[in-house]
Structure 1
Amino acid sequence: MRINLTSVFVDDQDKALRFYTELLGFVKKADVPLGEHRWLTVVSPEQPDGTELLLEPDAHPAVRPYRTALVADGIPAASFAVDNVHGECERLRRLGVRFTQEPLATGPVTVAVLDDTCGNLVQLAQYHR
Protein backbone atom coordinates (compact mmCIF):
# COMPACT_ATOMS: atom_id res chain seq x y z
CA MET A 1 0.00 0.00 0.00
CA ARG A 2 1.24 3.51 -0.77
CA ILE A 3 -0.13 7.04 -0.72
CA ASN A 4 -1.49 7.94 -4.15
CA LEU A 5 -3.20 11.27 -3.50
CA THR A 6 -3.55 13.80 -0.74
CA SER A 7 -5.22 17.18 -0.78
CA VAL A 8 -5.22 20.72 0.53
CA PHE A 9 -8.39 22.78 0.52
CA VAL A 10 -7.95 26.04 -1.37
CA ASP A 11 -10.13 29.12 -1.68
CA ASP A 12 -9.20 29.70 -5.35
CA GLN A 13 -7.94 26.91 -7.60
CA ASP A 14 -6.31 29.23 -10.16
CA LYS A 15 -4.46 31.17 -7.46
CA ALA A 16 -3.43 27.89 -5.80
CA LEU A 17 -2.14 26.48 -9.09
CA ARG A 18 0.00 29.57 -9.64
CA PHE A 19 1.37 29.44 -6.06
CA TYR A 20 2.13 25.73 -6.04
CA THR A 21 3.69 25.71 -9.53
CA GLU A 22 5.27 29.13 -10.03
CA LEU A 23 6.53 29.62 -6.47
CA LEU A 24 6.90 26.19 -4.88
CA GLY A 25 7.98 24.50 -8.12
CA PHE A 26 5.45 21.69 -8.46
CA VAL A 27 4.11 20.78 -11.92
CA LYS A 28 0.49 20.38 -12.98
CA LYS A 29 -0.48 16.73 -13.40
CA ALA A 30 -4.27 16.70 -13.88
CA ASP A 31 -6.75 19.42 -14.75
CA VAL A 32 -10.22 17.98 -15.32
CA PRO A 33 -13.30 20.25 -15.42
CA LEU A 34 -15.98 19.25 -12.91
CA GLY A 35 -18.72 21.85 -13.30
CA GLU A 36 -17.86 24.90 -11.22
CA HIS A 37 -14.54 23.38 -10.04
CA ARG A 38 -11.79 21.11 -11.37
CA TRP A 39 -9.94 17.96 -10.41
CA LEU A 40 -6.63 19.80 -10.24
CA THR A 41 -3.47 18.06 -9.07
CA VAL A 42 0.22 18.89 -8.92
CA VAL A 43 3.27 16.68 -8.40
CA SER A 44 6.92 17.10 -7.63
CA PRO A 45 9.04 17.42 -10.78
CA GLU A 46 11.42 15.02 -9.02
CA GLN A 47 8.66 12.36 -8.83
CA PRO A 48 6.23 12.98 -11.71
CA ASP A 49 4.57 9.60 -11.10
CA GLY A 50 4.61 10.04 -7.32
CA THR A 51 1.99 11.25 -4.88
CA GLU A 52 -0.36 13.85 -6.32
CA LEU A 53 -1.50 16.89 -4.34
CA LEU A 54 -5.13 17.74 -5.08
CA LEU A 55 -5.86 21.48 -4.94
CA GLU A 56 -9.36 20.87 -3.67
CA PRO A 57 -12.02 23.61 -3.57
CA ASP A 58 -13.06 24.63 -0.06
CA ALA A 59 -16.76 24.53 -0.99
CA HIS A 60 -17.88 22.13 1.77
CA PRO A 61 -19.27 24.10 4.76
CA ALA A 62 -17.03 22.27 7.24
CA VAL A 63 -13.81 23.25 5.49
CA ARG A 64 -13.48 26.93 6.34
CA PRO A 65 -14.01 26.59 10.12
CA TYR A 66 -11.62 23.62 10.16
CA ARG A 67 -8.96 25.44 8.15
CA THR A 68 -9.39 28.65 10.15
CA ALA A 69 -8.82 26.71 13.38
CA LEU A 70 -5.68 25.05 11.99
CA VAL A 71 -4.20 28.38 10.88
CA ALA A 72 -5.09 30.04 14.20
CA ASP A 73 -3.20 27.29 16.02
CA GLY A 74 -0.27 27.41 13.57
CA ILE A 75 -0.87 23.87 12.31
CA PRO A 76 0.24 23.18 8.71
CA ALA A 77 -2.18 21.49 6.33
CA ALA A 78 0.70 19.79 4.51
CA SER A 79 4.42 19.13 4.85
CA PHE A 80 6.92 19.03 1.98
CA ALA A 81 10.42 17.61 2.23
CA VAL A 82 13.30 19.82 1.03
CA ASP A 83 17.03 19.21 0.87
CA ASN A 84 17.98 22.62 2.28
CA VAL A 85 15.28 24.38 4.30
CA HIS A 86 17.33 27.57 4.81
CA GLY A 87 18.10 27.87 1.11
CA GLU A 88 14.50 27.14 0.13
CA CYS A 89 13.21 29.75 2.58
CA GLU A 90 15.56 32.36 1.11
CA ARG A 91 14.51 31.49 -2.44
CA LEU A 92 10.82 31.71 -1.55
CA ARG A 93 11.23 34.95 0.43
CA ARG A 94 12.77 36.55 -2.67
CA LEU A 95 9.60 35.52 -4.53
CA GLY A 96 7.41 37.20 -1.91
CA VAL A 97 6.35 34.18 0.13
CA ARG A 98 5.46 34.98 3.74
CA PHE A 99 6.70 32.68 6.48
CA THR A 100 4.88 32.26 9.78
CA GLN A 101 7.74 30.25 11.30
CA GLU A 102 11.38 30.67 10.46
CA PRO A 103 13.55 27.55 10.16
CA LEU A 104 13.70 25.80 13.51
CA ALA A 105 15.84 22.75 14.32
CA THR A 106 13.82 20.18 16.25
CA GLY A 107 15.92 17.07 16.71
CA PRO A 108 16.38 15.18 13.45
CA VAL A 109 14.49 17.75 11.36
CA THR A 110 14.56 21.48 10.62
CA VAL A 111 11.16 22.93 9.77
CA ALA A 112 9.74 26.22 8.55
CA VAL A 113 6.11 27.20 7.93
CA LEU A 114 4.76 29.39 5.14
CA ASP A 115 1.40 30.86 4.15
CA ASP A 116 0.20 29.46 0.80
CA THR A 117 -2.08 32.50 0.19
CA CYS A 118 -5.00 30.10 -0.35
CA GLY A 119 -5.99 29.62 3.29
CA ASN A 120 -3.35 27.15 4.49
CA LEU A 121 -0.09 26.93 6.31
CA VAL A 122 2.50 24.63 4.72
CA GLN A 123 5.53 23.15 6.44
CA LEU A 124 8.89 22.68 4.77
CA ALA A 125 10.98 19.95 6.41
CA GLN A 126 14.64 19.07 6.03
CA TYR A 127 15.47 15.71 7.59
CA HIS A 128 19.00 15.26 8.94
CA ARG A 129 20.10 11.69 8.45
Structure 2
Amino acid sequence: MDLTIDTVSLPHDDPEASLAFYRDLLGFEVRGDVGEGRTRWITVGPAGRPDTSILLAPPGADPGVTDAERRTIAEMMAKGTFGWILLATPRLDAMFEKVRAGGAEVVQEPTDQPYGIRDCAFRDPAGNLIRVREAG
Protein backbone atom coordinates (compact mmCIF):
# COMPACT_ATOMS: atom_id res chain seq x y z
CA MET A 1 0.00 0.00 0.00
CA ASP A 2 1.18 3.52 -0.77
CA LEU A 3 -0.47 5.87 1.74
CA THR A 4 0.35 9.40 2.81
CA ILE A 5 -1.21 11.73 5.34
CA ASP A 6 -2.98 14.42 3.33
CA THR A 7 -5.05 16.34 5.87
CA VAL A 8 -5.68 16.20 9.60
CA SER A 9 -8.50 18.07 11.29
CA LEU A 10 -8.62 20.27 14.37
CA PRO A 11 -11.69 22.07 15.69
CA HIS A 12 -11.95 25.84 15.89
CA ASP A 13 -14.54 28.09 17.47
CA ASP A 14 -13.23 31.43 16.17
CA PRO A 15 -12.07 31.45 12.54
CA GLU A 16 -10.34 34.83 12.73
CA ALA A 17 -8.35 33.89 15.85
CA SER A 18 -7.43 30.56 14.24
CA LEU A 19 -6.26 32.30 11.06
CA ALA A 20 -4.14 34.75 13.05
CA PHE A 21 -2.59 31.87 15.00
CA TYR A 22 -1.87 29.41 12.21
CA ARG A 23 -1.10 31.94 9.46
CA ASP A 24 0.55 34.80 11.35
CA LEU A 25 2.24 33.05 14.30
CA LEU A 26 3.08 29.64 12.84
CA GLY A 27 3.61 30.91 9.29
CA PHE A 28 1.31 28.42 7.56
CA GLU A 29 -0.18 29.37 4.22
CA VAL A 30 -3.96 29.48 3.83
CA ARG A 31 -5.07 27.00 1.18
CA GLY A 32 -8.81 27.28 1.52
CA ASP A 33 -11.45 29.18 3.46
CA VAL A 34 -15.07 28.25 2.82
CA GLY A 35 -18.27 28.94 4.70
CA GLU A 36 -19.38 32.09 6.42
CA GLY A 37 -19.40 33.71 9.82
CA ARG A 38 -18.15 31.36 12.51
CA THR A 39 -19.00 28.30 10.41
CA ARG A 40 -15.92 28.18 8.19
CA TRP A 41 -13.65 25.35 7.09
CA ILE A 42 -10.10 26.70 6.80
CA THR A 43 -7.26 24.67 5.32
CA VAL A 44 -3.69 25.67 6.21
CA GLY A 45 -0.31 24.07 5.75
CA PRO A 46 3.42 24.64 5.66
CA ALA A 47 4.64 26.73 2.73
CA GLY A 48 6.21 24.60 0.03
CA ARG A 49 4.56 21.42 1.37
CA PRO A 50 1.23 21.19 -0.47
CA ASP A 51 0.98 17.49 0.34
CA THR A 52 0.21 18.05 4.04
CA SER A 53 -2.59 20.21 5.45
CA ILE A 54 -4.55 20.95 8.60
CA LEU A 55 -8.30 21.47 8.24
CA LEU A 56 -9.60 23.85 10.91
CA ALA A 57 -13.25 22.87 11.15
CA PRO A 58 -16.23 24.10 13.15
CA PRO A 59 -16.99 21.44 15.77
CA GLY A 60 -20.35 19.77 15.65
CA ALA A 61 -21.28 21.25 12.26
CA ASP A 62 -22.22 17.80 10.94
CA PRO A 63 -26.03 17.51 11.00
CA GLY A 64 -25.65 13.99 12.47
CA VAL A 65 -24.13 15.38 15.68
CA THR A 66 -26.65 15.58 18.51
CA ASP A 67 -27.06 18.54 20.87
CA ALA A 68 -25.61 16.43 23.69
CA GLU A 69 -22.55 15.64 21.56
CA ARG A 70 -22.13 19.34 20.71
CA ARG A 71 -22.17 20.16 24.44
CA THR A 72 -19.56 17.47 25.11
CA ILE A 73 -17.35 18.78 22.30
CA ALA A 74 -17.66 22.35 23.64
CA GLU A 75 -16.76 21.18 27.16
CA MET A 76 -13.74 19.22 25.93
CA MET A 77 -12.55 22.17 23.82
CA ALA A 78 -12.86 24.48 26.82
CA LYS A 79 -10.62 22.12 28.83
CA GLY A 80 -8.19 21.69 25.93
CA THR A 81 -8.77 17.94 25.71
CA PHE A 82 -10.53 17.58 22.35
CA GLY A 83 -7.83 18.01 19.68
CA TRP A 84 -4.05 17.97 19.45
CA ILE A 85 -1.27 17.74 16.89
CA LEU A 86 2.49 17.18 16.87
CA LEU A 87 4.59 19.45 14.64
CA ALA A 88 8.36 19.61 14.09
CA THR A 89 10.88 22.38 13.42
CA PRO A 90 14.67 22.63 13.35
CA ARG A 91 14.40 25.98 15.19
CA LEU A 92 12.36 25.05 18.25
CA ASP A 93 13.48 27.85 20.57
CA ALA A 94 12.93 30.63 18.01
CA MET A 95 9.50 29.26 17.08
CA PHE A 96 8.55 28.94 20.75
CA GLU A 97 9.56 32.55 21.53
CA LYS A 98 7.54 33.85 18.56
CA VAL A 99 4.44 31.93 19.61
CA ARG A 100 4.80 32.95 23.27
CA ALA A 101 5.26 36.62 22.25
CA GLY A 102 2.09 36.26 20.17
CA GLY A 103 0.11 35.45 23.31
CA ALA A 104 -0.39 31.70 23.01
CA GLU A 105 -1.08 29.80 26.21
CA VAL A 106 2.18 28.03 27.09
CA VAL A 107 1.77 24.46 28.36
CA GLN A 108 5.46 23.50 28.40
CA GLU A 109 8.60 25.46 27.59
CA PRO A 110 11.23 23.77 25.40
CA THR A 111 12.43 20.73 27.37
CA ASP A 112 14.87 17.88 26.80
CA GLN A 113 12.73 14.80 27.34
CA PRO A 114 14.15 11.62 28.91
CA TYR A 115 13.07 9.67 25.81
CA GLY A 116 15.45 11.57 23.57
CA ILE A 117 13.61 14.50 22.03
CA ARG A 118 13.40 18.20 22.81
CA ASP A 119 9.92 19.64 22.59
CA CYS A 120 7.46 22.26 23.83
CA ALA A 121 3.70 22.64 23.99
CA PHE A 122 1.10 25.39 23.81
CA ARG A 123 -2.59 25.80 23.00
CA ASP A 124 -4.16 27.34 19.93
CA PRO A 125 -7.12 29.77 20.31
CA ALA A 126 -9.60 26.86 20.40
CA GLY A 127 -7.69 25.09 23.17
CA ASN A 128 -6.11 22.42 20.94
CA LEU A 129 -2.79 21.15 22.26
CA ILE A 130 0.06 21.90 19.87
CA ARG A 131 3.25 19.98 20.66
CA VAL A 132 6.35 20.84 18.67
CA ARG A 133 9.47 18.72 18.63
CA GLU A 134 12.90 19.83 17.48
CA ALA A 135 13.73 18.21 14.14
CA GLY A 136 17.31 17.09 13.71
Which of the five TM-score ranges fits, normalised by the shorter chain? 0.7 to 0.9
Cα 1:95/1:34, change in 2 over 3 Å: closer
1:11·1:57 contact (CA, 8 Å) conserved in 2?
Answer: yes
Cα 1:119/1:2, change in 2 over 3 Å: same
Tell me what 2:132 maps to: 124
Q: How many residues align?
A: 124
Structure 2 residue ranges without an equivalent (≥5)? none
Cα 1:23/1:35, change in 2 over 3 Å: closer
Q: Under a length normalisation based on structure 1, what TM-score does the superposition of the two structures give?
A: 0.81
What is the alpha-carbon distance in structure 1 between the residues aligned to residue 101 and residue 75 of structure 2? 31
Tell me what 1:95 maps to: 102
State the 1:104 CA deviation.
Answer: 1.4
> What is the CA RMSD across the aligned residues, in angstroms?
2.4
**Residue identity matched to 1:84:** R
Query: 1:2-41, aligned counterparts within 5 Å?
Result: 2-33=4-35, 37-41=39-43
Cα 1:36/1:22, change in 2 over 3 Å: closer
Q: Under a length normalisation based on structure 2, what TM-score does the superposition of the two structures give?
A: 0.77
What does the per-residue CA deviation read over 1:12-49, in whole Å, with 9 as the maximum and x for residues that have no partner?
A: 122111111011111100112279622310010131x1
**Residue identity matched to 1:80:** L
Tell me what 2:87 maps to: 80
What is the alpha-carbon distance in structure 2 between the residues aligned to residue 118 and residue 67 of structure 1? 7
Tell me what 1:55 maps to: 56
> Which one has a bigger Cα radius of gyration?
2
Runs of 4+ aligned structure 1 residues displaced above 3 Å come to: 65-69
What is the alpha-carbon distance in structure 1 between the residues aligned to residue 37 and residue 120 of structure 2? 36
Structure 1 residue ranges without an equivalent (≥5)? none
User: Is 1:44–2:46 an aligned residue pair?
Assistant: yes
State the 1:109 CA deviation.
Answer: 1.5
Tell me what 1:115 maps to: 123
Identity value in percent: 27
**What SS is found at the alignment partner of 2:99?**
helix
What is the alpha-carbon distance in structure 1 between the residues aligned to residue 38 and residue 117 of structure 2? 40
